[in-house]
Amino acid sequence: MAKKILLLTGDCAEDYEVKVPQQALMMLGYQVDVVVPNKKAGDMVQLVVHDFIGLDTYVELTGHRIPVDVAAKDAIAGDYVGLVVPGGRAPEYIRMYEEVVKLVQEFFAANKPVAAICHGTQLLAAAKVLEGKTVTSYPACAAECSLAGAKWKDQPVVVSGNLVTAQAWPNHPDWLRAFVDLLGAKINI
């Protein structure tokens, strides 16, 4: 039986920050379950792509649609060896679901590996699990991280105990390598 990773997301998550970790971890032999609140297994999640076109912030373009594997209300943290929290707009609204916040808290209480990228730290801040951690995120989320008790660093990737955070999808290679290290998996090249 494959070890399982819980990928906690929702509509309008950043496409690259869902699909790349999902497929990379599957390549390593993990079963990656896409877990979403307010949807059931088999429902579809709409991902988006964020792009910079010369504005002060990004624009949002339509990305892929992918199926939900497990409803958040049915997910059990104990069934998983690690948690991935992609960015995009999804963390902003999935943090309003009690079952989502509880799942995050259970991963931290069990000291299981957690990987959050970009706006994913918004969910971690809402779950009150950042106190005493050193993190990075999309720079626009730095204030939320600090208000949640974390030390924010302007670095592409930061590891702090069981948590690895990254600023955005261009940091995938180092972010995913650090997460795989936390999981105890080995990549031989």
Work out the pLDDT band at 89, boundaries 50, 70, 90: very high
Calculate the CA 174 to chain-centre distance: 15
Mean pLDDT of 162-182: 97
The residues annotated as belonging to the active site are 119
Cβ contacts of 27 within 8 Å, gap of 6 or more: none
pTM: 0.95
Encoding tokens for residue 5? 């990773």
Encoding tokens for residue 61? 């373009």
Q: pLDDT per residue over 47-88, tens digit each?
A: 999 877 787 777 777 899 999 999 999 999 999 999 999 999
Give strand pairing partners of 64. none
Q: pLDDT per residue over 4-22, tens digit each?
A: 999 999 999 999 999 999 9
Please report, rounded to a whole number, the percentage of residues in the chain having pLDDT higher than 90: 89
Q: pLDDT per residue over 28-56, tens digit each?
A: 999 999 999 999 999 999 999 987 778 77
Encoding tokens for residue 12? 């309008």
Q: pLDDT per residue over 118-155, tens digit each?
A: 999 999 999 999 999 999 999 999 999 999 999 999 99
CATH superfamily of 4-183: Class I glutamine amidotransferase (GATase) domain (3.40.50.880)
Spatial separation of the C-alpha atoms in residues 34 and 189, rounded to whole Å: 28
Spatial separation of the C-alpha atoms in residues 27 and 73, rounded to whole Å: 27
- How far is CA 159 from each of CA 38, 170, 174, rounded to the nearest angstrom? 31, 17, 10
Supply the pLDDT for residue 53: 79
Spell out the domain ranges in the chain. Answer: 4-183
Spatial separation of the C-alpha atoms in residues 121 and 117, rounded to whole Å: 7
